Amino acid sequence: MSAAEDRAETAAQPALLRDPATIRRRAHAMLALAERDALPHFRLHPERLDVAADYVAAVIRDNYPDLAIPYHARWRHFAAGGRDRWGALARMLEDQSGEEVARIRFDLCVVSVLLDAGAGPDWAFTEDGQRIARSEGLAVASLHAFATGLFSGDPTHPLRADAEGLSRIDAASLGAAFQVGPGNPLEGLEGRAALMRALGAALRARPDIFGPQARIGRLYDHLAAQAGGGALPGALPARVVLAAVLEGFAPIWPSRLSLGGENLGDVWRHPLAAPEEPAPGLLPFHKLSQWLSYSLIEALEDAGLRVTGLDELTGLPEYRNGGLFLDLGVLELRDPALAEHPLPVEHEAIVEWRALTVALLDRVAEGVRDRLGFTAAEMPLARVLEGGTWAAGRRIAREKRPGGTPPLNVRSDGTVF
């Protein structure tokens, strides 16, 4: 291969690692190794998959007796405790156009999802005397911060998130909004604030996506303009949503791995990953970006756009979905001592666990659909996750450990878990 050909191949690798098909293919290749008992950190017990499917189906019936399951999206967390906070905010926007409401939803959703990485066991947000912890607490805190204009640079338009407002966020202002204090520590606070400032810089860098206002909500217009062509007129493929999210927000992630001068984001090394493919030894996940895409897709559909190919995106490799498979015995650590101490997110065992989680979510989804009598089109993975594996992972963790802590503890910098 010539030097020019080598440079061209390297330049193409970031796009390959952002493709959800690559995420799924490499995850299933890791599962195939597990089936041969050839992974260094986990044993697979495939006979336990039926147990997992039974457990998830039972959780779905408990949570959604009518089986009308929404997507696994940030909007569920805004309704923590049965209080429709987004609905209350939306009622204040009745004089706005449908397009502007969609932009506001994008503004809110992006900052909220990017601030969602694990809060830690000791933090909670207090609202009207009620303490709300973990993802729901982070969602409620971010919604309150959004409503007060924390992310807007225009005091006459507080309900937006733009580069000017985001660039001013520091640990002190974010900590105050999230009620952080000596008795209420939030993991990764500095990382979250840095992520918001980096987000502001990313908006300014891409006026073609975020407009001259450098506003998150203009991503809605960018995506809406891409609906209407191709084989399905008026449709927007889900992979296009993810591609825009990954392209537009690529610069915000902390510098970890890069290829061709591009920051890869949620991509990690494992020696057994894709040895025969371009970019060998790398496992992409893009967990927050995919969850964000699921959340934005709901807003797009509510605005009247038709999104297709939802199951081209993958399951989310985080500690609730991954914990489900450990706690139900589908996966077993070869070295139980790994569960005794927090592990960095780049630890080979964590990377392996996340890859297996992506592939096993596909497998368990098939069993759940069979038990509930749905096709994949009727119950896409986004509904299985919500109904679902994430809720089941939280439930089994509470059954097994005080406080519902996950079976593996991952040290978060506020940008992955």
Question: Could you tell me the two tokens for 8?
Answer: 């061209």
Distance between CA atoms of residues 211 and 271, nearest Å = 41
Give the H or E element holding residue 268: strand 267-269
User: Per residue, what are the HEC states of 234-261?
Assistant: CEEEHHHHHHHHHHHHHHHCCCCCEECC
How does pLDDT run along the chain (417 residues), one tens digit per residue? Answer: 555 545 555 667 889 999 999 999 999 999 999 999 999 999 999 999 999 999 999 999 999 999 999 999 999 999 999 999 999 999 999 999 999 999 999 999 999 999 987 778 889 999 999 999 988 999 999 999 999 999 999 999 999 999 999 999 999 999 999 999 999 999 889 989 999 999 999 999 999 999 999 999 999 999 999 987 554 456 899 999 999 999 999 888 877 888 888 888 899 999 999 999 999 999 999 998 999 999 999 999 999 999 999 999 999 999 999 999 999 999 999 999 999 999 999 999 999 999 999 999 999 999 999 999 999 999 999 999 999 999 999 999 999 998 888 999 888 665 665
Instruction: List Cα–Cα distances, 175 to 139, 192, 342, 403, 415, in angstroms.
Output: 14, 10, 24, 24, 16
In single-letter form, the type of residue at position 176 comes to: A
Q: What is the pTM of this model?
A: 0.91
Q: Terminus-to-terminus CA distance in the chain, angstroms?
A: 39
